[in-house]
Amino acid sequence: MAMILSFVVFLAVAIGIALLGMKLWLRPKEAIERVTGGGINSEEEIPTHPSLVFRDMLNRLGTVLPASPKDVSVMQRRLMRAGMRGPNSLRMLYGAKVVLGVALPLIMTAVVWNSSAEGFNKGAAVLAAAGLGFFGPNEYVSLMSRRRQKEIRRGLANSLDLMVVCVESGLGLDQAILQVAKELEHAHPEISEEFAMVNLELKAGKRRPEALRNLAERTAVDDLKKLVAVLIQADRFGTGVAQSLRAHSDFMRVQARQIAEEKAAKLGVKLVFPIFFCILPSLFVVTVGPVAVKIMRELIPMMTGV
C-alpha cells in the first residue's frame, strides 16, 4: 500500500512539474509564433514571471475561502498594523491558509501512515496539522504586528524630539511631520512610513485631526495614541504646538525612565529560578562533589570493614 501511494504521489508531482515547465519555460505558443512569423498582439496578456507564480496562486486561492464582512474588516486592520498594506494582502493571507490547511494534513498523513501509533493519535496529529495550517498565518500576522508596534514604540522618542526641534525652529506641524518622515527613513523606517502616510492623507485633502486619528488606528500603539491626542487638543484649543510637544516629550522621557527602573527592580526576582535550577546545582557539584567522592572511597569501606 505504501509503495502504491508513493508511486501515485510521484506520478502526480512529475506530471505537475512537466506541465508547469511547458507553460512557463518552454512556451510552445511563442515558439510557434516565432516560426510562423506571427507577432504578439498588444491586447494579449503579458506572461507572468516564474517568481510570481506562487503569489498569483495564493491570490486566486484567496477568493475560494469564504469570509464574513466582519472578519474581513478585522483581518484588514491586523494586516495594516503588521505593515502588509498591498491590495492583494488579504487574498494572499486567505490563500496561504488554504494551501497550508491542505498541505500540512497531507504531509502529516504521509508521516504517520506507517507509524506504530494508535488510530486516535494519528487522527489527532492530522487534525492538529490542519489547525496549525489554517490558523498559523493569523498568528504570523499577529507576530509581525507586535514586532512592528515594538519598533514604532522604540523610534517614537527620537521622532518626538526631532519634531520638537522642527516645530521650535519655525516649521508648521505638517512640515514637521514630513521632515521627521524624511530624517528617520533609515533609522526607524516603520514610524517614518506612518508619518509619510499622514502627510499623504493631508495632501489628499483630509483634515488634520482625521489623519492623526487614522495614524493612531493603524498602529494601535498606546504612546502614539497619547501623542495624537495631544496634537489634536493643541490644534482644537489653539495652544502652542511646540509647548505641548515639549511637555509630552518630557512626560515620555520620565515614563521611559520609570519603565526601565521597574524592569531593573524585577530583575532580582526573575533571577531566582535560573540561579536555583542552573547555577546552584553546578556549584554543589564543584564544591561538594570531591568531598562526596572521597567519603565513598575511604570512609564507607572503613565503616564496612569495622
Domain ranges of the chain: 152-256
CB atoms within 10 A of CB 181: 22
CA dist 128 and 134 (Å) reads 10
Distance CA 277, CA 283 (A): 11
pLDDT tens-digit profile of 6-48? 666 777 777 777 766 666 555 555 555 655 655 444 444 445 5
Dump the DSSP string for 206-233: --HHHHHHHHHHHH--HHHHHHHHHHHH
Contact predicate 155/187, CB 8 Å: yes
Task: Please check the confidence at residue 304 and state whether its pLDDT lies above 90.
Answer: no
End-to-end CA distance of the chain: 70
Nearest CA to 58 out of 86, 77, 80 is that of 86
Per-residue pLDDT reduced to its tens digit, 182-241: 999 898 999 999 999 999 999 888 899 999 999 999 888 998 999 999 989 888 887 788
Report which residue type is found at 297. Answer: R
CA dist 246 and 252 (Å) reads 10
Sorted by sequence, the CB contacts under 8 Å of residue 183 that are 6+ apart come out as: 162
Report percent pLDDT > 70 for the chain. 79
Distance between CA atoms of 212 and 29, rounded to whole angstroms?
Answer: 53
